[in-house]
C-alpha cells in the first residue's frame, strides 16, 4: 500500500487511448495541429488587443484574459498528452500529476467565472448603454478579472488538496489522458463520498451558478433586442454578443457533461472524448469565433499585418 501525498512516490499511468493504437497516431497529428493553431490564434488576439487603441475597451480586455487563460489551460495538458500519444511511455510523474491537477482546475474554474463576467459586460453594453462607461470603468474591470482568477485559485487549493489526501493504495492506472479530479477520486481505496459531495458542490458553484447568470443576462439582452425597431440596429447589437454566446454554449455544454453527469451513465471512452473537446478543441475555437465573426478584431488584425509588411 502506498499513499499519494508524498512527492517521492511513483507516478501514474495515463491509460488515455492506449487501447486504440491506430487512433493514437491520428490524434497525435490532429492535436499537434490544433495546439499549434491555439498558440498562434490566442497569442494573436492578445497582441492585437494590446497594440490597437480601438480595442482598448472592457470587451477586449476580458477577451485578452480569456485568450491568455486558454493558452495556459491547454498548455497544462496538451504537451504531456502529445508525449504519451507519440510514444510507448504513458506515465506521468507524481509531481507532474500534481501540477497538472492544480493548474488545469484553477484555469478551468477561472474561465467559468470569466465567461459570466463577459456576459455582464454585454448586458450593460446593450441594456444600459448610457451607463456603460461608468459601469464598466477600468477599475471595476480589473476587480472583476481579479475575482475570476482568485476564485479559480481558491477552488483548486480546496478541491485538488482534498483529492490528493485520498489514499490510492497502489492504484496507478488513470483511465484518462490527464490528471483530473473525477478520475483520481475513482482510484481511492476508501469511501470517496465526501470528495464526491465536495466536487458536486464545487461544480454547482462554478458551472450552474455562472451559467445561470449568463442565461439571465442573455434573457435581458434578448428582450432589449426585441425593442429595437431597426433590423440593422438589432443585427449590430446581436453581433456584439453572438461570439461570446457561441463560446459559452461550446464550453459549458462539454464541461457540464463531464462534471455533472454521473460517470456510470456514460460509455467508458465518452468522457475522454468530451474532455478532449474542452481541453484541446475549445481553446482554438475561441480565437476562430472572435476573429471570423468580429469586424473590429478582423480590422485590427489586418491593420497589424499591414503595418508589419510596411515595416
pLDDT at 196 > cutoff 80: yes
pLDDT of the residue at 3: 43
DSSP symbol at 137:
-
pLDDT of the residue at 310: 54
pLDDT of the residue at 2: 41
3-state secondary structure of 4: coil
Going by C-alpha positions, the residue among 246, 226, 253 that lies closest to residue 289 is 246
Helices (H), 128-269: 132-135, 138-164, 181-185, 193-203, 209-226, 231-260
pLDDT at 65 > cutoff 70: yes
pLDDT of the residue at 6: 45
pLDDT of the residue at 233: 66
Q: How far is CA 44 from CA 47, 66, 113, 129, 307, in A?
A: 5, 13, 23, 29, 14
Q: What is the pLDDT of residues 68-87, one digit of tens each?
A: 999 999 999 999 999 988 88
Quote the pTM value: 0.86
Q: What is the pLDDT of residues 38-58, one digit of tens each?
A: 999 899 889 888 887 777 889
More confident residue, 107 or 273: 107
Amino acid at each position: 500500500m502506498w499513499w499519494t501525498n508524498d512527492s517521492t512516490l511513483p507516478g501514474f499511468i495515463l491509460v488515455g487511448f492506449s487501447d486504440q493504437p491506430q487512433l493514437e497516431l491520428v490524434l497525435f497529428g490532429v492535436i499537434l495541429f490544433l495546439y499549434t493553431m491555439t498558440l498562434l490564434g490566442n497569442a494573436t488576439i492578445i497582441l492585437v488587443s494590446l497594440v490597437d487603441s480601438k480595442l482598448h475597451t472592457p470587451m477586449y480586455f476580458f477577451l485578452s484574459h480569456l485568450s491568455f487563460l486558454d493558452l495556459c489551460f491547454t498548455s497544462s495538458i496538451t504537451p504531456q498528452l502529445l508525449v504519451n500519444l507519440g510514444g510507448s511511455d504513458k506515465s506521468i510523474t507524481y509531481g507532474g500529476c500534481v501540477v497538472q491537477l492544480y493548474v488545469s482546475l484553477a484555469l478551468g474554474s477561472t474561465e467559468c467565472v470569466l465567461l459570466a463576467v463577459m456576459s455582464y459586460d454585454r448586458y450593460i453594453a446593450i441594456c444600459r448603454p448610457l451607463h456603460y462607461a461608468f459601469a464598466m470603468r477600468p477599475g471595476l474591470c480589473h476587480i472583476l478579472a481579479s475575482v475570476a482568477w482568485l476564485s479559480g485559485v481558491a477552488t483548486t487549493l480546496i478541491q485538488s488538496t482534498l483529492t490528493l489526501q485520498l489514499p490510492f493504495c497502489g492504484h496507478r492506472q488513470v483511465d484518462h489522458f490527464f490528471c483530473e479530479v473525477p478520475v483520481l477520486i475513482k482510484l481511492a481505496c476508501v469511501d470517496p463520498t465526501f470528495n464526491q459531495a465536495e466536487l458536486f458542490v464545487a461544480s454547482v458553484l462554478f458551472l450552474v451558478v455562472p451559467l445561470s447568470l449568463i442565461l439571465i443576462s442573455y434573457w435581458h439582452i434578448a428582450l432589449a433586442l426585441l425593442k429595437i425597431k431597426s433590423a440593422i440596429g438589432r443585427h449590430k447589437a446581436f453581433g456584439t454578443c453572438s461570439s461570446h454566446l457561441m463560446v459559452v454554449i461550446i464550453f459549458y455544454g462539454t464541461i457540464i457533461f463531464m462534471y455533472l453527469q454521473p460517470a456510470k451513465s456514460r460509455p467508458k471512452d465518452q468522457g475522454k472524448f468530451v474532455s478532449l473537446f474542452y481541453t484541446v478543441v475549445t481553446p482554438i475555437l475561441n480565437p476562430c469565433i472572435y476573429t471570423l465573426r468580429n469586424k473590429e478584431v478582423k480590422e485590427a488584425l489586418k491593420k497589424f499585418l499591414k503595418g508589419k509588411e510596411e515595416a
